[in-house]
Structure 1
Amino acid sequence: MGGEKQVLARLEVSRHACRLFWERGVADTSGDDIAAAAGVSTRTVWRYFRSKESCVEPLLARSADRFVAILHRWPHDLSLAEHLAAETLSQPVDPQEIADEISAMRIATMTESEPALRTAYLMVHDRMEHGFIPVVADRLNLEENDLTVRLCAAAVTGAFRVVDEDVSRAVIVEGEAVTQEQTLALIDRAIRDATNGRLGGPVPH
């Protein structure tokens, strides 16, 4: 239970850190500021995180982990587009998840000019890549350490990151309205293109 409580506590600190970075900028936000906003001691912040920029990782990881979980539930008889559409209907997002997604998109737009935030962002995607490997291995009927599996997992991660950055920029910076359906369609197309069609369709019998 203690582990779960700590995960939730780190996420709450992360939410405040992301908000402060967006409102004030990274340079003008200190560990003390993050601690005060989250209602914890500065010592607790440094116990949870290696740097102030790494405070964004738990919030960014929520979106990444949710997508990995969606792929782990991908049935063999469905295309990715069909599965994503079904997931949208069966797993609606709640208001907190929507708020977290917006905050994550804001951070994604900041990573272009903030190298330390970029490092945290890429670390989350590295974790995502490892999560994709069992899914790719299963759908290609190959061992997890097979080179093709690892290359496809890396390609899927890269595709997801490009879509995430493009959609985040469109919504947050350019003020465009991008629907969930449009985002999922982009993900489907990007993954098919990135893996040369190896992934995206149903698993052949």
Structure 2
Amino acid sequence: MADNRSEARLAVSRLACDLFWERGVAGTSGDDIAAAAGLSTRTIWRYFRTKESCVEPMLARTVDRFIGMLQRWPPELSLAEHLAADSAAYPLTPQEVADEISAMRIATMSTSEPALRTAYLMVHDQMERGFIPVIADRLRLEESDLTVRLCAAAVTAAFRVVDEDVSHAVIVEGKAVTAQEALALIDRAIQEATNGRLGGPVTP
């Protein structure tokens, strides 16, 4: 039942993201989202606390994919090497590509929509918590260690900046940013945000 509810929320989330992009947040109501999803408005409010929070499951899906990528990071590889290899080993599905585009649209909209910004930042808080065990393992420290938590916060902030910059370039300016260029930016951001603590291979 929980999985069915999660999938239902994700389906609604994808539709809501499309509506927000097409009509704007102010031009989209809970009734509109319900109609697009073929559900009652009452059901929408059982799933979500506000219409803007409807974007969270879709954003969370993209965050989970990136955290999964970091969880697969072997100690002998640098981050740049791993990102390139992992992207080749786990290519995006058509749905994942669509989700990434939607996530970029929401990132650009969140800069001028405070309620949407709240939902966007809440998902990044989830990302920060997901980074902690990865960083702790990489640095060989306890998850509660201050260095680990500071690195997780810094990495999350760095990733958000890259996400917003790339999203603006692609969605607003219409620039072509390759996957390799985006991954290189992520690699650079994480290394700079952690003063080089993360990014290179782990020495035995």
TM range (shorter): over 0.9
In 1: Cα distance, 2:141 partner to 2:19 partner: 45
The structural deviation recorded for 1:44 is 1.1
SS, match of residue 84 in structure 2: helix
Superposition TM-score, scaled by structure 1 size? 0.98
Name structure 2 gaps, 5 residues minimum: none
Task: Note the 1:32-111 alignment, pairs <5 A.
Answer: 32-111=31-110
2-structure distance, mates of 1:100, 1:141: 34
Q: Using the alignment, how far apart are the partners of 2:135 and 2:102 within structure 1? A: 29
Percent identical residues: 76
Q: How many residues align?
A: 204
Q: Distance in 2 between matches of 1:7 and 1:201?
A: 36
The answer to whether residue 132 in structure 2 is matched with residue 168 in structure 1 is no
Following superposition, the deviation at residue 84 of structure 1 comes to 0.4
CA positional deviation for 1:93: 0.5
1:178 aligns with 2:186: no
Aligned AA for 2:195? Answer: N
> In the TM superposition, what is the alpha-carbon distance from 1:168 to its structure 2 partner?
0.2
RMSD: 0.6
What TM-score do you get using the length of structure 2 for normalisation? 0.99
- Separation of aligned partners in 2, 1:63 and 1:88: 14
Specify every segment of 5 or more residues in structure 1 that has no aligned partner in the other structure, as ranges: none
Shift of 1:41: 1.1
* Cα-to-partner distance string for 1:115-151 (whole Å, 9 max, x where unaligned): 0000000000000000000011111111101000000
Structure 2 counterpart of 1:135: 134
Aligned partner letter, 2:143: E
Match of 1:17 in 2: 16
Question: What SS class does the counterpart of residue 145 from structure 1 fall into?
Answer: coil
Correspondences of 1:24-35 after superposition (within 5 Å): 24-35=23-34
Q: How many Å apart are 1:63 and its aligned residue?
A: 1.0
1:105-120 correspondence to structure 2 within 5 Å: 105-120=104-119
Residue 103 (structure 1) shift: 0.9
Which residue of 2 is the match for residue 149 of structure 1? 148
Letter in structure 2 aligned against 1:35 = A
| CA distance in structure 2 between the aligned counterparts of 1:66 and 1:102, rounded to whole angstroms | 14
Aligned counterpart, 1:204: 203
| Amino acid paired to 1:15 | R
Separation in 1, partners of 2:186, 2:166: 10
